[in-house]
Chains A and B, each alone.
Chain A
Amino acid sequence: MARLGMVIDLKRCIGCNACTLACKQENGTPEGVHYARVITREVGTYPKTKRTFLPVLCNHCDDAPCAQACPSGATWIRSDGLVLVDREKCIGCRACSVACPYMNRHFIEKGLLQHGYGTDGLSPYEAVKFLEFEEGTNTKCTMCAHRVDQGLEPACVVTCPTDARIFGDLEPDDGKLQKLIRERKGWTLLPECNTKPSVFYLDE
């Protein structure tokens, strides 16, 4: 049984937000909805300061708290480990948003699909892409399940100019991802939440 996941090499990330834009373009998410984003922080004391970057996306947790909190069963976990939302079952209670410690659940507010990024209503692109969303329901990163099903990698992975993102199967112990995680002491975000994320980070 596969468990799809990702390893993000922070040594390579330059904080260019190409992943953020690629995700926006691929998924056509409405204004304010960012499945992928890069958290930026300045550390150090002047004049020795540095900007550090943390690219984040849905962690597709093995013990997904959003799926556990969902009262309607709209959030479900696919056999390959991807956490998905059946929008037709979603009641818009936002329990998943409150349950996700990574802030990676997004609610489509009423009226959000009526306007795009431009000023004159929806662009033809947005008019098509917005059909995949429904007002009053929750949405999230699918790790580009539609691309994965065609044997492609997620948009953020193929776009990353520094190859900081590696996508693959976390299950085999001798696989590419597990080897990287083992050798470079990979870690996950907020391990104290016991969600068993499928996105690992490297910075050694």
Chain B
Amino acid sequence: MTTQSITIAEHRFGYGFYRQVWWNWLIGTAFFCGGLGAGLFLISLGTDYRLGMVLGYLIVVVGKNTAHLLYLGRPERFWRAALRPDRSWIARGIWACGLFAVSGAILLAPMILGAAWQVPGEIADAAKVVAIGSGLVIMFYDGFVMNQSAAIPFWNTQLLPLLVLMYATLGGVTLTITLGALQNYESRETAWLEKVEPYLLIANFLLLCLYLLRMWRWTPAARETVRMWVKGRYARVFFGLIVAVGLIATLTLSLVQQQWQVRGLSLVIAGCELTGDFSLLMLMLKSGLFAPQTAPAFEPRGNGR
């Protein structure tokens, strides 16, 4: 069987690859907010940048959770999603979001509401550990949610959690630098982040290439998705938004920014990077294909059977 002999089925009674139609832009937005918010929170925690922590926390707790609730068919039963952490990555993600919301609130309350909300040192330390752990899980668990599905070969690889973790880190670094530049917040750590960002962009680009190469050699359905990205209907989004805007423009502008410190350019850099990040997640969801339901009688044999 060759990829060329199989087309995308228009409906479920037809033969061919089937499109993934259930997880839509709301899930993409939720994953995007989760990775970006948790990345921003953790990077800002590392650089002791309070505005970044608050914003990252809000992106996760408000943005991600709202998108998830809007997506659910029965949002009033959302709590049931936490019942099977032993086998479902969605359930583990819910737990991570819950722990992040509580521990993050403990850490941020004294910063926002004043010293009266300060908790004892041991509790604050424990909250910090929990926030870091749950934040990390939020950064990569959507990769596991997707790769748990063996039905969609393009997602079914251990490279996916790594890819979403790398993009979440990149998003967190970029937004921390941008917010810091807008607020004239300077520290040794943010200066270090500016130096690290180009290397992160190159690493993400290489990882993306490795991902596509791996998928090209995987199954016909995964190969068809790669074909759609590189030569087919999604080539403009892939090359235009993900590669050109999200990686090349971000890299070029960040190098320019390092050299000349152009005022306001950091906002453009963040816009480019976040566009690439969001486009990648949306394309991942939109281009997921199910393998055809193959029967020996379906195999082309010249004159049928």
Residues in chain A near residue B294, CB distance under 8 A: 189-190
- Interface stretch, picked from A65-73, A140-148, A149-157, is A65-73
Chain A: residues with Cβ within 8 Å of the partner, total of: 54
Contact flag A71-B13 (CB < 8 Å), given A10-B297, A48-B302, A91-B77: no
Confirm or deny: A170 has a beta carbon within 8 angstroms of a beta carbon on chain B.
no
Further contacts, 12 of them, CB under 8 A, given A39-B15, A98-B149, A99-B148: A39-B13, A43-B305, A70-B88, A71-B88, A71-B94, A98-B23, A107-B73, A138-B73, A189-B293, A189-B294, A201-B295, A203-B297
Residues in chain B near residue A37, CB distance under 8 A: 12-13
Residues in chain B near residue A129, CB distance under 8 A: none
| Interchain nearest-CB distance for B165 vs A (Å) | 21
**A44 is contacted by which of B13, B23, B304 (Cβ under 8 Å)?**
B304
CB of B304 within 8 A of CB of A43, answer yes
Q: How far, in whole Å, are A137 and B76 apart by their CA atoms in the complex?
A: 12
Confirm or deny: A2 has a beta carbon within 8 angstroms of a beta carbon on chain B.
no
CB of A43 within 8 A of CB of B299, answer yes
| 20 A-B pairs whose Cβ atoms sit less than 8 Å apart in the complex | A40-B14, A52-B304, A56-B293, A65-B150, A68-B87, A68-B148, A69-B88, A71-B91, A71-B94, A72-B80, A74-B80, A89-B80, A90-B73, A91-B72, A93-B73, A95-B90, A99-B148, A99-B151, A103-B290, A107-B22
Chain B: residues with Cβ within 8 Å of the partner, total of: 48
Confirm or deny: A45 has a beta carbon within 8 angstroms of a beta carbon on chain B.
yes
Within 8 A of B (CB), among A33-91: 34, 37-41, 43-45, 48-50, 52, 54, 56, 65, 68-74, 89-91
Within 8 A of A (CB), among B1-29: 12-15, 18, 20, 22-23
| Interchain nearest-CB distance for B204 vs A (Å) | 25
The residue in chain B whose Cβ has the minimal distance to the Cβ of A41 is B15
| Interchain nearest-CB distance for B158 vs A (Å) | 17
CB of B298 within 8 A of CB of A91, answer no
**B81 is contacted by which of A52, A65, A71, A193 (Cβ under 8 Å)?**
A71
Confirm or deny: B78 has a beta carbon within 8 angstroms of a beta carbon on chain A.
yes
Confirm or deny: A100 has a beta carbon within 8 angstroms of a beta carbon on chain B.
yes
**B151 is contacted by which of A44, A65, A135 (Cβ under 8 Å)?**
A65
CB of B151 within 8 A of CB of A71, answer no
CB of A40 within 8 A of CB of B302, answer no
CB of A45 within 8 A of CB of B302, answer yes
Contact flag A98-B22 (CB < 8 Å), given A39-B293, A45-B303, A91-B72: yes
The residue in chain A whose Cβ has the minimal distance to the Cβ of B5 is A43
Confirm or deny: A198 has a beta carbon within 8 angstroms of a beta carbon on chain B.
no
CB of A101 within 8 A of CB of B291, answer yes
| Interchain nearest-CB distance for B210 vs A (Å) | 23
CB of A69 within 8 A of CB of B295, answer no
CB of A92 within 8 A of CB of B14, answer no
The 5 A-B pairs with the shortest beta carbon distances in the complex, nearest first, are A92-B73, A136-B73, A50-B304, A44-B304, A101-B151
| Interchain nearest-CB distance for A132 vs B (Å) | 16
CB of B74 within 8 A of CB of A103, answer no
Q: How far, in whole Å, are A135 and B219 apart by their CA atoms in the complex?
A: 35
Confirm or deny: B301 has a beta carbon within 8 angstroms of a beta carbon on chain A.
yes
Q: How far, in whole Å, are A81 and B80 apart by their CA atoms in the complex?
A: 24
Residues in chain B near residue A41, CB distance under 8 A: 14-15, 298
CB of A48 within 8 A of CB of B304, answer yes
Q: How far, in whole Å, are A108 and B73 apart by their CA atoms in the complex?
A: 9
CB of B73 within 8 A of CB of A91, answer yes
CB of B73 within 8 A of CB of A135, answer yes
Residues in chain A near residue B288, CB distance under 8 A: 98
Within 8 A of B (CB), among A144-189: 187, 189
CB of B74 within 8 A of CB of A102, answer no
CB of B305 within 8 A of CB of A95, answer no
Q: How far, in whole Å, are A124 and B109 apart by their CA atoms in the complex?
A: 58
Q: How far, in whole Å, are A105 and B219 apart by their CA atoms in the complex?
A: 23
Within 8 A of A (CB), among B192-234: 219
Confirm or deny: B152 has a beta carbon within 8 angstroms of a beta carbon on chain A.
yes
Interface string of B144-171 (1 = CB under 8 A from A): 0100111110000000000000000000
CB of B15 within 8 A of CB of A190, answer no
The residue in chain A whose Cβ has the minimal distance to the Cβ of B148 is A69
The residue in chain A whose Cβ has the minimal distance to the Cβ of B24 is A94
Contact flag A73-B83 (CB < 8 Å), given A50-B305, A92-B73, A203-B296: yes
Confirm or deny: A97 has a beta carbon within 8 angstroms of a beta carbon on chain B.
yes
Residues in chain B near residue A92, CB distance under 8 A: 72-74
Contact flag A95-B145 (CB < 8 Å), given A37-B13, A39-B293: yes
Confirm or deny: B50 has a beta carbon within 8 angstroms of a beta carbon on chain A.
no
